[in-house]
Amino acid sequence: MLLTINTDDPRPIYQQVADGIKQLIAGGKLEEGAALPPVRQLAADLGVNLNTIATAYRELQKEGLITVKHGSGSVVASLTSTERNQDELLRPLRTALTQMVLAGLPESKILRLVINELHLVGKGSK
Amino acid sequence: MPNDQFILLFYLFWWGARIRGFFRRWPQPLLRGSEWFFNVHVQPGFYAGPGKKILHRYRMRMFIPFVLDIPIVMAIFIPGYLQYFIWLLLAQAGVIHLNHVFSVDIAERQARRFAIADAEQPAAAISFSLQPRRLRDYTNPKVEWALVLSFLATFLWLLHYYFAAPEHHNLRQVFGVPVFYLYLQLGLLFVKQVIVAWRTPVPQTQAAEHIKAREETRKYYLLMCDLNRAAVAAATLFWPIVLTASPAASIRYRNLWIAVWVAITVVNGVWVEIKRKQLLKMALRARPVKLPDFLQQSEIARWPLCYQPSAPMLVLKGARGYSLNLANTLAQFGAVYLAGWVVLFAFLRMGH
């Protein structure tokens, strides 16, 4: 299972790593209980500061997507264990929808795009 | 066969392997074709122009270990200190490897000035595997149990031998050799850990080919480590056999041991050559790509040794070549391990 970091991407590296892992979890490629590489391995493979990967893992842990067990590493948490409420989850979606409306996209096209993206993200899950 | 002759035979075998390695490294810069110098995509006509000198210098540097060898061999051979040949070849193995690694790095840096401009741009996207790499993932429990049991059997046999008549045996003489081998085993396990930790960043293009080539090479080196560990375990088990046998039987066993060892070395040599060719074929399928340097390694690693706690790598590619990161846990373990050798030797020599 590969993850890709793009130097042209405006997002910081830790965000790209966190988002990449989130996508894999959402797509069912990383299942509940799957072990993630240690922070040191990922940081060395990418050639980045240890804190970069530690920050990405912290973000995933904060969102309840992974659990960090001392001594045995990080594993993908159960998807039902997320403690975030619906409002919090909807916030980025509202931002994206607002941008699409402001860009002048018709409602039907926005709906089509959202459905397509949902299919892409959820591809492979279940 | 007396000890000295055995060591001399061992040294001659070593020379055979060394010459083979020399001829393997000679054409290495051109393995990808005349458009390449090692992993640098060079401009047309490179080998007719500046490349000729760079290639010549690279090949001249290959002779450095031989030049270093001559005075040391004479210093050992003329007074007849043949037992030191073992230490010489262990040191030379390290020197040859380091000389090659640094020589390739120097040559590539020189060739980069004549590289095709686009090829020197770092890849925009870098991929990495999310598969955890731990020592246990590359460990065969059956092999480990066999090694542990062989050591246990040796020590139990030696304990029985020693306590049967403690007043007639020297503790260091009886247990010195297996303790030496046990420590060597620990060292080989440490080398395995370093190989497992070997970083695997790959460009997004041809990521699968790059990862396959890296993974196969990793497995090859790990297998070589395990073969050496098995050889060390066999040598450990052989020690009580020689120690407890009568002088005549002991010589017979030793000769048999040497014959078996020579046969295994020849078979292993052939296998290594075949395997190396397969790995090379695989490596050549993946086109070399320059990867982005997020840590600015040339800035933070200016000397052969550096201390960079925030950098997770054992070795950084610095401004003047490779730099060992002393802040890395593996480097610290390695230093402690080497210090352990000094303590062990001091302890073993105390009884002499």
Contact A6, B203 (CB under 8 A): no
d(CA B174, CA B181) in angstroms, rounded, equals: 13
Q: Which has the closest alpha carbon to B143: B198, B222, B212?
A: B222
Interval A69-110: pLDDT, tens: 777 789 998 876 455 677 777 888 888 999 999 999 999 999
Q: Do A2 and B293 touch (CB under 8 A)?
A: no
| Residue A126 confidence (pLDDT) | 46
Report the gap between the CA of B165 and the closest CA in chain A (Å). Answer: 46
Model-level pTM? 0.82
Is A37 a residue whose pLDDT tops 50? yes
Interface with B, mutate which of A45, A48, A57, A65 (most B CBs under 10 A): A45
What is the ipTM metric for this complex? 0.78
* B222 vs B5, higher pLDDT: B222
| CB contact set of A84 (below 8 Å; sequence gap of 6+) | A63, A64
Which range is least confidently modeled, B8-12, B93-97, B278-282? B8-12
Q: Do B204 and A4 touch (CB under 8 A)?
A: yes
Is B133 a residue whose pLDDT tops 80? yes
Q: Do B130 and A51 touch (CB under 8 A)?
A: no
| Residue A27 confidence (pLDDT) | 84
pLDDT band at residue B336, thresholds of 50, 70 and 90? very high
Q: Sign (positive/negative) of CA torsion A102, A106, A111, A113?
A: negative
| Helices B50-61 and B85-112: angle between axes, nearest 10 degrees | 170
Q: How many CB atoms lie within 10 A of CB B190?
A: 16
State the average pLDDT over residues B101-112: 92
Interval B180-190: pLDDT, tens: 999 999 999 99
